[in-house]
């Protein structure tokens, strides 16, 4: 098959290489000319995705994969078009901002030819595939869905850094607008993916028909929103444990020792493109979902809560030297999407602290571009706050922070024995 992948970022590019590895001709289209050039050189454009560099080095010189900025080059004659363009969410209204997706959809529709399967993998509010993309593509292309092309929603269910592993591990969900579209979608994904055996599943691992696009859309929103709500509950327990002098981690371990409890871990922040964003997409079509809204709002208070704990221990933070460890939203990933670093730095700055940020994955210039003063390990500080659990931080000790008076481990990732002699705060270990 000829396959076009629209948006070749941290999800789209691994998908493109996966399809190429199954013997198909793949063209990635992206508005970022620098990214396109790197791909066409066979160069890994971003670090951290296991196996990506090797696939690019093999597939690009062999002519199995190429990239372009031109939709007219990528879309005509494609058997399938897969769209993974980011969907933004307005921070004030929590409403989806379709600006980028609308532009990509119109561009692909302008060049769509009959016989193409169009699959959206970007997480969407329920009803978007049928009520937004179908009429938009039909209007621009003058083609009819169900006759000239087929439209399907099939959410990506992978985590950055382990995309290839997750593609094999989890069922591929598809939801179409009609039976013919369902058949085309199943045929396509069975031709581009391979699946691990999963005896734990109620049916064989593989491509799962969700019945409708709406069910497929809701499945992705539901599985991610569950995690945000669960973390909100864990954070609620942790804050109560701080008041009551209880080790919440022992409590959670005990609860999860039986099969009906799956409590997640508390922490300073819930970041990334998915967990803090998708609940808001769900709320955009189900505004009465008070449980979802409460958890999302509660999780957003955790950076301020950690700073409150620091202030309780240190007193007035004015002119106190505080380093925030980790600009990334989670350990091992060079990505700041909805990272807890931003509200943490904001809270500290409000209280008069002199704030620096350190992250082994970002240069000083990159940190400066976010508005942060970069910290050099070995410089004197009064307080260090662990925001991202990078592997490099697991072995830090007071010797790395001359003059330190308090260490706040926002992820409970470090060894307390290494902090003997310096007060160490962990959410949920009791005040």
Question: How much is the pLDDT for 233?
Answer: 98
Question: How much is the pLDDT for 431?
Answer: 63
Which ranges of the chain have pLDDT less than 50? Answer: none
CB 341 within 8 A of CB 308: no
CATH homologous superfamily for the domain 212-431: NAD(P)-binding Rossmann-like Domain (3.40.50.720)
Give this prediction's pTM.
0.91
Could you tell me the fold of the domain covering 2-211?
Answer: Rossmann fold (3.40.50)
CB 407 within 8 A of CB 429: no
**Interatomic CA distance for residues 13 and 3, integer angstroms:** 13
Range(s) of the chain covered by CATH 3.40.50.720? 2-211, 212-431
CB 68 within 8 A of CB 37: no
**Interatomic CA distance for residues 106 and 99, integer angstroms:** 11
Question: How much is the pLDDT for 413?
Answer: 96
CB 313 within 8 A of CB 371: no
User: What is the per-residue pLDDT across 396-413, written as a single tens digit (0 to 9) for each?
Assistant: 999 999 999 999 999 999
């Amino acid at each position: 098959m000829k396959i076009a992948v629209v948006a070749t970022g941290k999800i789209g590019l691994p998908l493109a290489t996966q399809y190429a590895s199954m013997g198909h001709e793949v063209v990635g289209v992206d508005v970022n000319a620098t990214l396109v050039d790197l791909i066409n050189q066979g160069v890994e454009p971003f670090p951290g995705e296991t196996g990506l560099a090797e696939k690019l080095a093999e597939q690009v010189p062999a002519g199995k994969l190429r990239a372009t900025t031109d939709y007219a080059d990528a879309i005509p004659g494609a058997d399938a078009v897969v769209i993974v363009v980011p969907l933004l969410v307005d921070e004030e209204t929590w409403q989806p901002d379709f600006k980028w997706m609308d532009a990509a959809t119109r561009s692909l529709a302008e060049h769509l030819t009959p016989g193409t399967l169009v699959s959206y993998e970007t997480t969407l509010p329920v009803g978007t595939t049928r009520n937004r993309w179908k009429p938009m593509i039909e209007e621009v292309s003058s083609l009819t869905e169900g006759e000239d092309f087929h439209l399907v929603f099939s959410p990506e269910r992978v985590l950055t850094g382990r995309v290839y592993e997750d593609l094999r591990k989890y069922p591929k969900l598809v939801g179409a607008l009609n039976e013919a579209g369902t058949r085309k979608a199943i045929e396509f994904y069975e031709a581009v993916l391979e699946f691990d055996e999963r005896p734990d599943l109620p049916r064989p691992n593989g491509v799962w028909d969700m019945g409708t696009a709406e069910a497929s859309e809701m499945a992705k929103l539901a599985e991610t929103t569950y995690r945000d709500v669960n973390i909100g509950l864990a954070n609620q327990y942790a804050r109560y444990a701080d008041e009551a002098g209880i080790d919440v981690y022992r409590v959670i371990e005990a609860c999860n020792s039986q099969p009906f409890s799956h409590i997640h871990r508390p922490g300073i922040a819930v970041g990334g493109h998915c967990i803090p964003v998708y609940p808001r997409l769900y709320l955009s079509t189900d505004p009465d979902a008070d449980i979802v809204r409460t958890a999302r709002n509660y999780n957003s208070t955790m950076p301020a809560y950690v700073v409150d704990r620091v202030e309780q221990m240190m007193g007035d933070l004015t002119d106190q030297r505080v380093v925030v460890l980790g600009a990334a939203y989670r350990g091992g990933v060079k990505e700041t999407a909805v990272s807890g670093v931003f509200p943490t730095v904001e809270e500290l700055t409000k209280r008069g602290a002199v704030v620096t940020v350190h992250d082994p994955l970002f240069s000083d210039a990159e940190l400066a571009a976010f508005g942060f003063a970069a910290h050099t390990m070995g410089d004197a500080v009064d307080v260090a706050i662990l925001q991202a659990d990078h592997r490099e931080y697991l072995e830090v000790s007071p010797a790395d922070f001359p003059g330190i008076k308090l260490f706040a481990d926002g992820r409970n990732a470090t060894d307390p024995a290494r902090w003997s002699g310096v007060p160490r705060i962990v959410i949920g270990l009791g005040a």
